[in-house]
Amino acid sequence: MTTSQDKPSFRELHQPGNPFILANAWDIGSARLLAGMGAKALATTSAGHAFTLGLADMGNVSRDDAIAHAGELAEATPLPLSGDLENGYGHDTESVAETIRAAAAAGLAGCSIEDTALPALEAYPFQKAVERIEAAVDACRSLEGDFVLTARADGYMNGTYDIEESIRRLQAFEAAGADVLYAPWLPDLDAVGQICKSVNAPVNVVCESTFSRYSLADFASAGVARISLGGSLANVAKKAAYDAAFAMLETGDFSAMGNVDKQNLIDPLLEKGGA
């Protein structure tokens, strides 16, 4: 029988060419459902969490709220949980370090830090971006337990720099000591492979938008170590709710309510996921 002691650590799950799915949850129920269905690790989603608060993504949730939310999800299941902690909730290096320490204290197994100067979409200048990751690494190394730091180069996604600058930043983040590297919303799988070949550290890719056409085997062949979902699974749930509500409120059509009698399947998974 496999015990919790036999399970790989969060760090050990990251194997280039053998990716696992980092399942992003947006509340305790979704976290327990994903855990009960066999996810190996969970993450928060800044977009999904912001929606539960009636807010837009990208810099509208405070550090305190994000850490409290992540802590609740970390306690909800026995799985390791990584926090989507945006830019670390501050532009200076000490703000980033404070976020790392708070995340570890809340029970997280790791987190990601972006190079975007939220709430604006401009990227931090190269040297400042590197210094912020260096501060995050120093904070991680001061912790008693293991903590996996993911450094994000978000400029391609935000339209502020190109693939070459993404690689330059990821290589610098790796040199600074980041454990996992991540450039979201790349144009295609060839670009993902280019990123993976340019660094030695494990690479995360987000399966959103056009990347949903690729399979687990496709990502493995590109050298990916981890596949996160970002806000995509939360968006699936939101779209289902929107479509059903639109039909009811606009045309009086309640037919969507007859297609969701899965509670007898879901409730046992929620219980299993919280065990």
Task: Determine the Cα–Cα distance for residues 120 and 56; give it in Å rounded to an integer.
Answer: 13
Amino acid, res. 253: D
| Predicted local confidence at residue 257, as pLDDT | 86
| Predicted local confidence at residue 76, as pLDDT | 97
10-residue averages of pLDDT along the chain (275 residues): 60 98 97 97 96 92 97 98 97 98 98 97 98 98 96 97 98 98 96 98 94 96 98 94 95 87 82 92
- What are the residue ranges spanned by the domains of the chain? 11-234
The DSSP H or E segment spanning 271 is helix 263-273
| Predicted local confidence at residue 6, as pLDDT | 57
| Predicted local confidence at residue 275, as pLDDT | 86
| Predicted local confidence at residue 3, as pLDDT | 38
176: three-class secondary structure by DSSP: helix
Provide the whole-model pTM. 0.93
Token reading at 251: 């045309």
For residues 127, 132, 133, 135, the Cα torsion angle rounded to the nearest 10 degrees is 120
Nearest to residue 45, comparing CAs of 57, 55, 34?
Answer: 57
| Predicted local confidence at residue 48, as pLDDT | 94
| Predicted local confidence at residue 266, as pLDDT | 87
Cis-peptide, bond into residue 119, ω within 30° of zero: yes
DSSP code per residue over 187-236: SSHHHHHHHHHH-SS-EEEE--GGGGGS-HHHHHHHT-SEEE-TTHHHHH
The DSSP H or E segment spanning 125 is none
Q: Which CATH superfamily is domain 11-234 in?
A: Phosphoenolpyruvate-binding domains (3.20.20.60)
